[in-house]
């Protein structure tokens, strides 16, 4: 049964239009792939509530969240950049996930400590984002997502700027946290073969539409549409 | 669109409309009593307008023309001991009270100044008369040459290191470097610099009032002041104010495409390591001469103020309670003006950010900057005239007059505050808006935790600069000062007019010291204010 459902969503931005119907089961990880301008980030923005669909519904656990503000949705998102406030320590950045005014209870502090431990940042919590590495910054953003305790995690290429080894480590951490916390994850990537390792399913988008959706090995192993074949050829995913 | 979410900008616009619109309405209502044909055919008025344009044009050409080689010298010699301090010195005339600088200029270039004494002793040239057009030009160059240098330096910062390396491999001469590399970069900075300086000179008041030296060297702003204060002819002052408004609005509109937010730089981001001509002895000597000459030109009047102030009757002046009463008034005006300007700038910037990020209106940033820069088209003296007439009609108490001076000063300071705060606030929004939305960071919580740490320093700098400028401003305060409640700059002007130069020198020093203190305190206190 689907946990996250996008029912006949349409969204227009000038001449460009996005049309999508997607179903994601609870606890699954879906890799969202496609060329630049295919609509991957827009689709995530619609789920997160930064954009409002022109038509259609977004359901999480059968509740229509289309009219909810981003902070009211059972969804959290990591962006390509600016995931942390540069002037706050890693601890405060993570703590914002518990209370946006940083008024923390003992339970909140406990949650933050566990998130820090889970992401291996306990020793670095007092540092500012500029004083840690790119990988540690993304770990902190991930720790905050954990503190938000929301069942859907959207990743909009947050690891794109990291080197391949760090990227792999981050994907493994996401996979580990997903399993431990029962998160439903949608991860956008330009590198299908990399996310294929942690994803259960792949959604291929092309010019604002979902072209193919299915299990990773079948979809990537035997692409049906010429667009996906073409895309995989250029991204080294085939 | 939820209009209630746009209230900070709405409040700011209401404030601007109320003050600017109200004063203009008063001017227009008074205008009905004027005999238009008679005043417009007045040859004196024609000569005043001609002189206003002429001195502004000459001042601009001289300031920018001289600033170009000086800026090039600083750009070419990007590393030498004391460079940072010298470039900082270039910023001093911008924040210095005009009336104080005029006193310093008179001490150096005046009838009994150092230069004329040297000329008399050596007999090289006849003594230099500082009053009239020459004095106005000299003072305008004193203020605007350093400003132009700092506005033009970023043009060199934009030149990438690769361009110099390429020029090196092509064996370009210094003039070819200027023609093919520097000039193309300068063309995007020169028009804005020319327009800003032209408008500053066009609306210059204290310089022309003190150095103008009579009816042959009067600008429209000074004519308004003289008509109101000496001739007490509100009808004529009204017409002059409308003429000034029409001229400024026309100039601002005609030049609007060149008027953009220019960064003021200290030229620290220069990549001139591989510039072919920077090590040549000829150019090093040439640059050194330019840098020393410009430093002396700016530094000597400032030094003269300090020396004269320290030699004056210090105790007699500082023990005079009238001085401290005037200081108190000026401080009150400065604090109120800068607080109001900061609040209005913040309101406009926050609403512009919301319009840009939530309602996809990218033009909102420019509109906000233009609304806040209204004083370019509607000069403070015109607004002051309207408010002056309003005070006459309503018989306001003295305290209200000081409040009105603060209002006009707030409008004068607003462009600085807005140009400091708005880009940082909007940029912070571009980075963090979605993250804030997702975390539910809104309203006061967002301002306290995210916005204030980002804008704290620009707000502090703008408040410091605005406070110092407002504290030292004489223009509108001189216009309003009718009931004995003088401000410190006006007190200095009166002492200079009465040829009490020794007392004036000490007063000037007090004014400078408190201006610096106001800047330092506001900049430091707000810059460290915790979130």
In a domain, B316, yes or no: yes
Beta bridge partners of A78: A155
Q: A157 and A68 in one domain?
A: yes
Q: A155 and A144 in one domain?
A: no
Structure tokens at B44: 């004196």
H/E stretch holding A166: helix A164-181
Query: Is residue A212 a contact partner of residue A224, using CB atoms and an 8 Å limit?
Result: yes
Last residue of one domain, picked from the residues A93, A127, A149:
A149
B437–A71 C-beta distance less than 8 A: yes
Tens-place pLDDT, residues A37-57? 899 999 999 999 999 999 999
B440–A87 C-beta distance less than 8 A: no
User: For residue A141, what are the domain limits?
Assistant: 82-149
- Look at residue B484 and tell me whether its pLDDT is greater than 80: no
- What is the rounded CA–CA span in Å between residue A60 and residue A4? 5
- What is the rounded CA–CA span in Å between residue A77 and residue A41? 11
Query: Is residue B54 a contact partner of residue B203, using CB atoms and an 8 Å limit?
Result: no
Query: Is residue B464 a contact partner of residue B472, using CB atoms and an 8 Å limit?
Result: no
Q: Is B46 on the interface with A (CB under 8 A)?
A: no
Distance from CA of residue A221 to its chain's centroid? Answer: 24
Predicted TM-score (pTM) of this structure? 0.81
- What is the rounded CA–CA span in Å between residue A118 and residue A15? 44
Once rounded to an integer, what is the mean pLDDT over residues B348-374? 83
Least CA distance to A101: which residue of chain B? B445
Q: A193 and A156 in one domain?
A: yes
pLDDT at residue B154, rounded to an integer: 85
Last residue of one domain, picked from the residues A124, A149, A174:
A149
- Look at residue B413 and tell me whether its pLDDT is greater than 50: yes
Beta bridge partners of A210: A205
- What is the rounded CA–CA span in Å between residue B384 and residue B419? 23
- Look at residue B95 and tell me whether its pLDDT is greater than 90: no
| Nearest by CB: A48 against B438, B445, B454 | B438
- With cut-offs at 50, 70 and 90, classify the pLDDT of residue B2: low
Query: Is residue B455 a contact partner of residue B438, using CB atoms and an 8 Å limit?
Result: no
Enter the ipTM: 0.85
Beta bridge partners of A57: A7
Q: Are strands A184-189 and A201-206 parallel, antiparallel or unpaired?
A: unpaired
Q: Which B residues in the span 439-468 are in contact with A, Cβ-Cβ below 8 Å?
A: 439-442, 445, 449-450, 453-454
Q: A136 and A178 in one domain?
A: no
- Look at residue A224 and tell me whether its pLDDT is greater than 50: yes
In a domain, B132, yes or no: no
In a domain, B303, yes or no: no
The residue count of chain B comes to 531
Q: What number of H helices and E strands is found in chain B?
A: 28, 0
- With cut-offs at 50, 70 and 90, classify the pLDDT of residue B483: low
- What is the rounded CA–CA span in Å between residue B459 and residue A129? 24
Q: Where are the beta strands (DSSP E) in chain A?
A: 2-13, 16-25, 29-33, 55-60, 63-64, 75-78, 152-156, 184-189, 201-206, 209-215
Q: A227 and A161 in one domain?
A: yes
Residues of A in contact with B438 (CB under 8 A): 48, 70-71, 76-77
Q: A169 and A236 in one domain?
A: yes
- What is the rounded CA–CA span in Å between residue B267 and residue B273? 14
Q: How many CB atoms lie within 10 A of CB B65?
A: 12
Query: Is residue B93 a contact partner of residue B146, using CB atoms and an 8 Å limit?
Result: yes
| Nearest by CB: B449 against A71, A77, A102 | A102
In a domain, B185, yes or no: no
Q: A212 and A192 in one domain?
A: yes
In a domain, B460, yes or no: yes
pLDDT at residue B525, rounded to an integer: 86
B434–A70 C-beta distance less than 8 A: yes
Q: A86 and A53 in one domain?
A: no
Residue labelled with tokens 């940072």 = B84
Residues of A in contact with B439 (CB under 8 A): 71, 96-97, 100, 148
Phi then psi for A37, rounded to 5 degrees?
Answer: 85, 5
pLDDT at residue B128, rounded to an integer: 77
Least CA distance to B359: which residue of chain A? A51
Number of domains in chain B: 1
Question: How far, CA to CA in Å, does B67 sit from each of B63, B260, B516?
Answer: 6, 20, 25
Number of domains in chain A: 2
R_g of chain B computed on alpha carbons:
24
Q: A220 and A160 in one domain?
A: yes
**Looking at residue B386, which CATH number applies to its domain?**
1.10.3720.10
Give the side-chain half-sphere CA count within 13 A for B196: 25
A97–B437 C-beta distance less than 8 A: no
Q: Which of A42, A48, A70 to mutate to test the interface with B (most CBs of B within 10 A)?
A: A70
In a domain, B85, yes or no: no
Query: Is residue B311 a contact partner of residue B514, using CB atoms and an 8 Å limit?
Result: no
Q: A194 and A208 in one domain?
A: yes
The residue count of chain A comes to 238
Structure tokens at B45: 């008025």
Once rounded to an integer, what is the mean pLDDT over residues B511-520? 91
Beta bridge partners of A154: A77, A186
Structure tokens at B432: 């963090």
Q: How far is B441 from chain A (nearest CA, A)?
A: 5
Q: How far apart are the first and last CA of chain B?
A: 30
**Looking at residue A176, which CATH number applies to its domain?**
3.40.50.300
- Alpha helices by DSSP H, listed for B203-259, are 206-211, 220-229, 234-254
Residues of B in contact with A72 (CB under 8 A): 440
Residues of A in contact with B424 (CB under 8 A): none
Tens-place pLDDT, residues B165-201? 888 888 888 999 999 999 999 988 898 889 889 988 9
- The angle formed by the CA atoms of residues B196, B197 and B202, to the nearest 5 degrees, is 100
Q: Which of A75, A92, A101 to mutate to test the interface with B (most CBs of B within 10 A)?
A: A101
User: For residue B394, what are the domain limits?
Assistant: 1-31+312-531
Question: How far, CA to CA in Å, does B337 sit from each of A182, B381, B404, B515?
Answer: 57, 16, 10, 14
Structure tokens at B285: 């000597």
DSSP B171: T
Q: A106 and A2 in one domain?
A: no
Last residue of one domain, picked from the residues A149, A169, A202:
A149
Query: Is residue A112 a contact partner of residue A98, using CB atoms and an 8 Å limit?
Result: yes
Q: A110 and A212 in one domain?
A: no
Q: How many CB atoms lie within 10 A of CB A159?
A: 27
A69–B435 C-beta distance less than 8 A: no
Least CA distance to B435: which residue of chain A? A83
DSSP B127: P
Tens-place pLDDT, residues B439-466? 999 889 999 999 999 999 889 988 998 8
Q: How far is A199 from chain B (nearest CA, A)?
A: 25
In a domain, B267, yes or no: no
């Amino acid at each position: 049964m689907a946990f996250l459902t996008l029912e006949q969503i349409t969204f227009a931005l000038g001449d460009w239009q996005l049309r999508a119907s997607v179903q994601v089961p609870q606890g699954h990880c879906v890799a969202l792939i496609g060329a630049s301008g295919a609509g991957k980030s827009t689709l995530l923005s619609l789920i997160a509530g930064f954009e409002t669909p022109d038509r259609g519904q977004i359901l999480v656990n059968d509740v229509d969240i289309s009219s909810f503000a981003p902070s009211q949705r059972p969804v959290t998102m990591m962006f390509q950049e600016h995931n942390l406030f540069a002037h706050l320590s890693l601890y405060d950045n993570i703590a914002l996930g518990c209370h946006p005014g940083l008024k923390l209870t003992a339970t909140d502090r406990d949650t933050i400590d566990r998130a820090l431990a889970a992401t291996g940042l306990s020793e670095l919590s007092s540092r500012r984002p500029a004083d840690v590495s790119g990988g540690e910054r993304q770990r902190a953003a991930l720790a905050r997502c954990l503190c938000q305790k929301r069942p859907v995690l959207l990743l909009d290429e947050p690891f794109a700027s990291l080197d391949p080894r760090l990227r792999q480590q981050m994907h493994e951490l996401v996979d580990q946290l997903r399993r431990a916390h029962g998160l439903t994850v949608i991860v956008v990537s330009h590198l299908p073969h990399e996310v294929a390792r942690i994803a259960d399913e792949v959604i291929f988008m092309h010019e604002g539409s979902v072209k193919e959706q299915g299990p990773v090995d079948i979809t990537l192993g035997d692409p049906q549409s010429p667009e996906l074949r073409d895309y995989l050829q250029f991204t080294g995913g085939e | 669109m939820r209009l209630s979410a746009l209230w900070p900008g709405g409040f700011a616009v209401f404030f601007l409309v109320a003050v600017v619109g109200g004063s203009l309405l008063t001017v227009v209502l008074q205008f009905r009593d004027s005999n238009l044909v008679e005043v417009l055919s007045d040859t004196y008025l024609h000569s005043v307008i001609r002189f206003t344009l002429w001195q502004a044009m000459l001042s601009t050409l001289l300031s920018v023309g001289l600033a170009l080689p000086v800026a090039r010298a600083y750009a070419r010699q990007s590393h030498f001991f004391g460079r940072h301090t010298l470039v900082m010195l270039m910023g001093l005339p911008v924040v210095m009270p005009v009336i104080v600088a005029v006193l310093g200029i008179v001490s150096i270039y005046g009838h009994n100044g150092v230069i004329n004494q040297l000329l008399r002793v050596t007999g090289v040239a006849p003594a230099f008369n500082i009053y009239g057009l020459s004095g106005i030009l000299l003072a305008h160059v004193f203020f605007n040459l350093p400003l132009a240098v700092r506005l033009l330096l970023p043009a060199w910062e934009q030149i990438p290191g690769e361009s110099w390396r390429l020029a090196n491999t092509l064996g370009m001469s210094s003039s070819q470097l200027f023609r093919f590399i520097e000039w193309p970069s300068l063309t995007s900075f020169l028009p804005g610099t020319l327009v800003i300086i032209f408008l500053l000179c066009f609306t210059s008041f204290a310089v022309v009032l003190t150095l103008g030296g009579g009816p042959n060297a009067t600008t429209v702003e000074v004519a308004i002041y003289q008509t109101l204060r000496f001739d007490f002819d509100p009808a004529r002052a009204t017409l002059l104010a409308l003429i000034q408004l029409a001229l400024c609005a026309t100039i601002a509109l005609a030049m609007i495409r060149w008027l953009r937010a220019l960064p003021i730089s200290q030229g620290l981001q220069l990549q001139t390591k591989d510039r072919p001509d920077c090590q040549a002895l000829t150019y090093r000597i040439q640059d050194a001469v330019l840098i020393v000459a410009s430093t002396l030109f700016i530094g000597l009047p400032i030094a003269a103020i300090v020396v004269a102030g320290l030699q004056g009757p210090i105790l007699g002046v500082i023990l005079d309670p009238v001085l401290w009463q005037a200081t108190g008034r000026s401080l009150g005006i400065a604090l109120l003006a800068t607080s109001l300007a900061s609040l209005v700038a913040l309101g406009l910037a926050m609403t512009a950010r919301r319009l840009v990020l939530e309602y996809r209106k990218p033009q909102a940033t420019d509109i906000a900057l233009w609304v806040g820069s209204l004083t370019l088209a509607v000069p403070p003296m015109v607004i002051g005239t309207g408010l002056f007439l309003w005070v006459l009609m309503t018989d306001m108490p003295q305290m209200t007059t000081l409040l009105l001076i603060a209002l006009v000063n707030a409008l004068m300071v607003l462009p600085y505050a807005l140009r400091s705060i708005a880009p940082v606030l909007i940029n912070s929004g571009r980075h963090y808006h979605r993250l804030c939305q997702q975390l539910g960071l809104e309203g006061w919580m967002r301002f306290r935790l995210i916005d204030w740490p980002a804008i704290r320093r620009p707000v502090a700098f703008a408040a410091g600069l605005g406070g110092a400028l407002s504290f030292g401003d004489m223009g509108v305060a001189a216009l309003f000062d009718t009931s004995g409640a003088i401000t410190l700059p006006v007190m200095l002007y009166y002492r200079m007019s009465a040829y009490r130069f020794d007392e004036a020198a000490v007063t000037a020093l007090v004014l400078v010291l408190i201006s610096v203190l106001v800047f330092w305190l506001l900049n430091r206190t707000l810059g460290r204010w915790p979130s």
